Structure 1
Amino acid sequence: MSSSIAPYITAWSGEQDLPCALVERPDRSIGYASELLSDRDRHGVLWRQTALRHRVGRPEFARVHPQRQRRAMELLLCQVCGGPADQNEDGVLWLHRDYRDDWPHWPEGMASVEPPVCLPCVSVALQLCPALRRGAVTVRVKECPVAGVRGTIFRQSVLAPAAVTAGNFAYDDPAVRRVLASALIRELRGCVIVPLEELSGTMTGGLSR
């Protein structure tokens, strides 16, 4: 992907993680030593804090900005341009790598950390993303409830909480209290794969924001 073009959720080199010290809390959850209300989501889960300096420096395509990913997922915004994702009577539009061999009726029930897309940005993503060029599908999703977070779980340690492993955690999982979240998860339900040819007449433009 060209260095002059980057999806909305991509982190830039000017957006590094903020120096927030983790501490143990009396309820055995983790927190920041100097914590703000905005450091947690409405479920009380702690989030990784990253500088908000969109388009400063160079895009780092291997990194997703936690706050922009979360905003795109919460508001169902296009992951490429940041505008509203496409929706019609058949559901919200998602663009994914083609993993239909993973299980029957894929991607039904999938836990997705990739936000949806708008119609114009489908062609942009297909042209510029090497992974999608290896095989991609567009999917209409009837229901996509927020289900949890992806992040790193921390164990108790002598000096400060210590990272154990990264994974997906449901909001009703007690372990989520010790997770530092980096992405919001929606569960995809009522999925219907839409042939790309059916969308081709409306896939123009993109990345205008």
Structure 2
Amino acid sequence: MLVTRQSKTVPYITQRRGEVADLLADLRGAPGPRGRMRLVYRGERPQDRDVHGVLWARCSQAPQDEHGVPLGEPVWRMVHPARQRQTMQYGLCQVCARPARTAEGTLFLAGRDEYGPTDAGIITCQPPVCPPHAPVAAELCPYLAGEPAVFLAASCPLYGVLGTP
């Protein structure tokens, strides 16, 4: 599922030109399952929430090729929320969208501000990478600034959601 344009790889999670987020005006407050107020989309669909009931940003999807690769000009520095969610939830490589786990574990790349020297564990919103695409992700991701720390995780359970209230 790897896309190469003009000899530059476009990671699967990169947003494409024409993919547009829904307007904030489409959000409103409504009582949730336990009676507490929460944000909902007008005309909310089941795919708007994950298995834990967390509301995810809506963003249109670019057309895809026969392999499921999004087509269109990349919007560098922008991550498509649905593809990020998919890669995190299923442990897929952020570049090629294939399983990232190896017999040794799962690779994650972290930026300088994401971990400390005494941290026993790391919480990240960066999807994993497969070993062949770790150098590509390190080079292309502005968040990693070309100098990521590389972590091999024996396990990587989903922890939470980073969002904007």
TM value normalised by structure 2: 0.77
The question of whether the paired residues in 2 share the 8 Å contact of 1:11 and 1:63 is answered with yes
Comparing 18-27 and 60-69, the one that deviates more: 18-27
Q: Which residue of 2 aligns with 1:48?
A: 57
The code of the aligned residue for 2:156 comes to: C
Identity %: 39
Pairwise CA distance, 1:105: 3.6
SS at match of 1:140: strand
What is the root-mean-square deviation in Å for CA atoms of aligned residues? 2.6
Q: Which residue of 1 aligns with 2:126?
A: 114
Q: Is the 8 A contact 1:7 1:81 kept in 2?
A: yes
For residues 72 and 79 of structure 1, the distance between their equivalents in structure 2, rounded to whole angstroms, comes to 6
CA drift of 1:87 comes to 1.9
**Which residue type is aligned with residue 157 of structure 2?**
P
Structure with greater contact order relative to length (CA < 8 Å, sep ≥ 6): 1
Which segments of 5 or more consecutive residues in structure 2 lack a partner in the other structure? 63-68
Aligned structure 1 segments of 4 or more residues deviating by more than 6 angstroms: none
Name the structure with the higher strand share: 1
* Further displaced range: 72-81 or 122-131: 122-131
How many corresponding residue pairs? 150
Mark the runs of 5 or more structure 1 residues left unpaired by the alignment. 154-209
Residue type of the partner of 1:104? P
CA deviation profile, 1:133-180 (whole Å, cap 9, x unmatched)? 642232111221211111111xxxxxxxxxxxxxxxxxxxxxxxxxxx
1:1-209 aligned at under 5 Å gives the runs 4-19=8-23, 21-26=26-31, 27-53=36-62, 55-89=70-104, 91-98=105-112, 103-106=116-119, 108-129=120-141, 132=144, 134-153=146-165
Task: Please say if residues 15 and 56 of structure 1, whose CA atoms lie closer than 8 Å, have aligned partners that are also in contact.
Answer: no
Alpha carbons 1:85, 1:92 under 8 Å: kept? yes
- 1:99/1:28 CA distance change after superposition, 3 Å: closer
- Distance in 2 between residues matched to 1:32 and 1:94, nearest whole Å: 32
Task: Report the Cα offset of residue 131 of structure 1.
Answer: 5.7
